[in-house]
Amino acid sequence: MSYQRLKGLKEEYFGSFEGQDERLNPQVPYNDFFVQYGGEDQKDVQKRVFDTISSFMAKAQPNEKVLAVSHAGACFNFLIAIGVDPQQFLKKRFGNCSFLVIDYKNGKFKLEDLINPN
């Protein structure tokens, strides 16, 4: 099994809010809120994570299982990028070690399941 660290899977950068308590964040969606503090625009995060995952999935063999590990915000933005309604996830948080089961066929992603062991 090969391992590769990809910067495109990193968490959204929150600028001067980085490392601060999440209670200081505005309500989601963040949109471009963090840009004024030196952070990333949410649309840029969606594109970055989507492009990164699309790139390595395009190279995967048919029926190959791929494990991608990232942070809750990056995963949430990926789901938005693939067309999942974020409202269904705003009611629950991605706990530590949550899994998104995603099917990839013909260049398309489909959310199959969210497993939150917490």
List pLDDT tens digits, range 57-80: 999 998 899 999 999 899 999 999
The pTM for the full model equals: 0.91
Q: What is the pLDDT of residues 11-27, one digit of tens each?
A: 999 999 999 999 999 99
Q: What is the DSSP string of 23-40?
A: GGSPSSP-TTGGGGGT--
Q: What is the pLDDT of residue 53?
A: 98
Instruction: Name the nearest CA neighbour of 103 among 75, 82, 88.
Output: 82
Query: Which residues neighbour 112 within 8 Å (Cβ) at sequence distance 6 or greater?
Result: 101, 102, 103
**Rounded to whole angstroms, how far apart are CA atoms 104 and 72?**
20
At residue 89, the 3 state secondary structure works out as helix
